[in-house]
Amino acid sequence: MRSSLISRSGMVVLLCIAGATEMNAQTQSSDKGTRPEAATLFGGMIANKELGRGTNATGGERLSARLNYGAALGLRGGLHNELLGLEVNFLTTSNRAGVKNEFGVVFPNHAERPLICTGDALLYPFRRSIKGGNVRPYLTSGVGGMLLSADLDNINDKETHGNVVWNAGGGVKVSVRESTGLYVDVRFTNHRLLRSANTDVQSISIGVGARF
């Protein structure tokens, strides 16, 4: 009787260990699987570059819209696993673009803030090998567009001007608290405007995000 009770107790212990092992394996598999992420961004735009140009219909001289240095704000969201990520980025600036003619005369209130919208792929070359995945360097690249509302002919209201954008950059994500999925994302991105004589503007951003 006693040996039977010990045998049954041993079976219960083995079943509990097996169940705990299975739950731990499922948790690890879930942690390494694809997870959605979302973040808000703030930082700076390194610009002082021309974003678009037109011709003054009343004077005949060239008008150009130029973005100066300023703060950058944005949102991003996507799906990520231990090796790859896909995300959508929205980035704008705190300051409006300024419009001048070729002689330096300013045309006030002729442009708004640009909006950069891109789809980007991320590569995590070290996977989760650094600090158990709490520090994740990555490379990123993608394509999209920049929209700018500006009056570049000086006769009509502001019109929407588009530009194709190619992104390339890199950064690192650092987990703040793995149990809650909170992290900080520091990123440098070069935004090449392909229809503006390959103009480059750069952004440095700090994102505060969460994995779900």
Each residue's pLDDT, cut to its tens digit, for the chain (212 residues) gives 434 433 444 443 444 444 444 433 443 444 568 999 999 999 999 988 899 889 999 889 999 999 999 999 999 999 999 999 999 999 999 999 999 999 999 999 999 999 999 999 999 999 999 998 899 999 999 999 999 999 999 987 899 999 999 999 999 999 997 778 999 999 999 999 997 667 899 999 999 999 99
Distances (CA, A) of 37 to 14, 75, 105, 154, 182: 38, 11, 46, 43, 10
pLDDT of residue 154: 92
What DSSP character marks residue 65? E
Assigned token pair, 105: 């005369």
| Nearest one of 125, 117, 119, 118 to 84, comparing CA atoms | 125
Q: Residues near 9 by Cβ (< 8 Å), separated by ≥ 6?
A: none
Range of the structural domain that residue 6 is part of? 1-32
CATH of the domain at 152: 2.40.160.20
pLDDT of residue 119: 98
44 plus 20 within the same structural domain: no
5 plus 87 within the same structural domain: no
pLDDT of residue 179: 76
Separation between Cα atoms, residue 172 and residue 186, nearest integer Å: 6
| Nearest one of 209, 212, 199, 185 to 43, comparing CA atoms | 185
16 plus 41 within the same structural domain: no
7 plus 88 within the same structural domain: no
pLDDT of residue 120: 98
Separation between Cα atoms, residue 22 and residue 41, nearest integer Å: 38
42 plus 119 within the same structural domain: yes
pLDDT of residue 197: 64
Separation between Cα atoms, residue 56 and residue 66, nearest integer Å: 16
Number of domains in the chain: 2
Specify the pTM: 0.80
What DSSP character marks residue 111? B
13 plus 42 within the same structural domain: no
Give the three-class secondary structure for 69.
Answer: coil
Give the three-class secondary structure for 131.
Answer: helix
pLDDT of residue 196: 67
Strand-pair partners of 80: 35, 85
Whether 41 contacts 169, CB under 8 Å: no
Within 26-69, strands assigned E span 35-46, 49-55, 62-67
